[in-house]
Amino acid sequence: MTPTIIQPNWPAPPQVKSFTTTRQGGYSQSPYNELNLGFHVGDDPHHVSQNRSLLKNHLPQEPFWLEQTHSDIALEALSTFQENPPTGDASYTHHPHTVCCVLTADCLPILLCNEEGTQVAAIHGGWRGLAKGILEKTILQMNIPPHHLMAWLGPAIGPQQYEVGIEVYDAFLQKNSLHEKAFLPQGEKKWLANLYLLATQQLNQLGIQRVYGGEYCTFSNHDLFFSHRREGTTGRMASCIWLEAPRST
């Protein structure tokens, strides 16, 4: 089995390594076929373990897994061994070979690094987390001037497919009236929401102007991506980022 992965197209320093998996190249059976990396979605745990072993072949060590709850909790990735993954929706590190990782299947994975290549982060950007301030919390805890950071937006549900109700619309407009530009009315109390634009707006306002990616739609591409909105019961993809150790001279 050879997983199909997507390499971010961004000008990150060479010691910053990152990728997002797709649904292709794993062991899971329908409706989780093939490379499901989430234990929490009802898939055969043996197949998930096999898939995670495939993932590890592309990583320096086991990722820092999280129990994601659509929160605003950002954690420093300090240890790779986790009997029970900690609750949170973002992780960050300055330690070489420590892999920050988030799982998604329509929500927006956001990867961050600084221009010096000394710190990285992975963020689970569902609408609830973005509305609660997961980006602000992560950047604050990284303790890096935002203008030194750049971001890559991974595969998420696209703006032509993500219909939402008034609770989503209100949550973002209460946060910032500029977010109205990310909503296209679709009749009474229905909108098409643009997660890519919402995240970009927030990143820009926080001082991060270098934002890349945002060209995929998980809902529209069944062959390549899992989509919870499209399929209901389905798998999860992983977005991973880490630092290589400095080479000795």
**What pLDDT is stored for residue 248 in this prediction?**
53
Average pLDDT estimate for 107-127: 97
Rounded to an integer, what distance in angstroms lies between the CA atom of residue 81 and that of residue 84?
9
Residue 65 within any structural domain of the chain: yes
Q: Residue 105: which CATH number? A: 3.60.140.10
pTM to 2 decimal places:
0.95
Residues 19-66 have pLDDT tens digits of 999 999 999 999 999 999 999 999 999 999 999 999 999 999 999 999
Q: How confident is the model at residue 81 (pLDDT cuts 50, 70, 90)?
A: low
Task: Tell me whether residue 170 is in a domain.
Answer: no
Q: Whole domain around residue 228: which residue ranges?
A: 5-157+208-243
The predicted pLDDT at position 78 comes to 84
Tell me the pLDDT band of 79, cut-offs 50, 70 and 90. low
Report residue 249's pLDDT band, with 50, 70 and 90 as the boundaries.
Answer: very low
- Split into its structural domains, the chain has a count of 1
What mean pLDDT value characterizes the chain?
A: 95
Do residues 225 and 233 lie in contact, with contact meaning Cβ atoms separated by under 8 Å? Answer: no
Give CA–CA dist 244/12, Å, rounded. Answer: 12
Question: Does residue 193 lie in a domain region?
Answer: no
Residue 46 forms part of a structural domain: yes
Q: What is the pLDDT of residue 23?
A: 97
pLDDT at 220 > cutoff 70: yes
Report if residue 223 sits inside a domain.
Answer: yes
185 assigned to some structural domain: no
Residues 125-170 have pLDDT tens digits of 999 999 999 999 999 999 999 999 999 999 999 999 999 999 999 9
175 pLDDT tier (thresholds 50, 70, 90): very high
**Is 164 domain-assigned?**
no
Q: Is residue 184 part of a domain?
A: no
